[in-house]
Amino acid sequence: MGFFILSKKNRVLLGELVKTDFKLRYQGSVLGYLWAVIKPLLMFAILYVVFAKILRFGDEIPHYPVYLLIGTVIWNFFVECTQQGIHSIEQRGDLIRKISFPKYIVVVSATSTAVINVSINICVVIIFALINGVTPSLSWLMILPLLLELYLLALGISLLLGAINVKYRDIGNIWEVITQAMFYAVPIIYPLSMVMNSSVLAAKIIMLNPVAQVIQDIRYNLITTQAVTSWQIGGFWFGLISIAIVFIVLAISILYFRKRSKHFAEEI
């Protein structure tokens, strides 16, 4: 992973870009940084009223409000991370043309804003879980490596699609449509057990998606062992497939980004 090794000068640049991106994100808004918490809570409230109260989803899931909230927070993190990362190169065109530095720094800084937001949101989820009666345990520590796994996937997608987006600006719009479709293909609203009752094969296909795997694993470790995981569906080796996909995507993305980044200054 020598690709991500930075000199002291570039580490300082990365830190400044992260602070600038985070400040600009909420600049000019009345509520400012509070939007980092308010947006996922509003989305959760809408989903909870529609699917839990009206359609009666999740009646059999303990602490379903927390179950739904953590799914919403993790999904928002993935979407925000990729959307910010994909557009980061084109948005920093002036900087790329003027200064010589590793171009992936721009993508990492853009996605770091989502990392800050999800860190705040996880604290809110934990408070909400304690109020809802969820018992704390050491398994809560598993949230950190699982979030790292999802971040590496989002970073890989951002590097790959961000590099393509420099030349073909439709990529951002296409990815937005894909994520809207993925929202319903990932068990955020509905419990995976509902799918398993109809087709175990369909549940296995869903759990090959690393986003679904991370969400279910976090639910399992944070809220309830009734949250079905890929390890439970297909065993140890099946559970490793989605993790392997993350590192394959990241490796391919690094190779492609490294090749294309030489031409960014000419194409932006």
Give 86-103 as a DSSP string: HHHHHHTHHHHHH--S-T
The answer to whether 231 touches 203, Cβ cutoff 8 Å, is no
**Residue 263 pLDDT level (bands cut at 50, 70, 90):** confident
- pLDDT of 189 reads 85
**The predicted structure's pLDDT at residue 194:** 86
Domain boundaries, the chain: 2-267
Residue 31 above 60 pLDDT? Answer: no
pLDDT higher than threshold 60 for residue 32: no
- Confidence label for 120 from pLDDT (cuts 50, 70 and 90): confident
Inter-residue contact 149 to 230 (CB < 8 Å): no
Contact partners, residue 201, CB within 8 Å, separation at least 6? none
Residue 213 has pLDDT above 70, yes or no: yes
For the residues 10-31, what does the mean pLDDT come to? Answer: 71
Q: Work out the mean pLDDT of the chain and round it to a whole number.
A: 86
* Sign of the C-alpha dihedral computed for residues 35, 110, 177 and 150 taken in this order: negative
Distances 218 to 133, 212, 222, 235 between C-alpha atoms, Å: 17, 10, 6, 17
Q: How sure is the predictor about 264, in pLDDT bands with cuts at 50, 70 and 90?
A: confident
Cα(188)–Cα(69) distance, rounded to whole angstroms? 9
Residue 261 or residue 155, greater confidence: 155
- What is the C-alpha separation between 268 and 266, in angstroms, rounded? 6
- Residue 62's pLDDT band, with cuts at 50, 70 and 90, is confident
Tell me the two tokens of residue 180: 């809207």
For the residues of 111-168, what is the DSSP string, one character each? HHHHHHHHHHHHHHHHHHHHHTTPPP-GGGGGHHHHHHHHHHHHHHHHHHHHHHHTT-
Mean pLDDT of 194-202: 90
Q: Tell me the pLDDT tens digit for each residue of 123-142.
A: 888 988 898 888 899 999 99
- Whole-Å CA distances, 123 to 6, 35, 119, 218, 253: 30, 15, 7, 14, 31
Pick the more confident residue, 18 or 256.
256
Residues 57, 201: contact at Cβ < 8 Å?
Answer: no
CA contacts within 13 A on the Cβ side of 55? 10
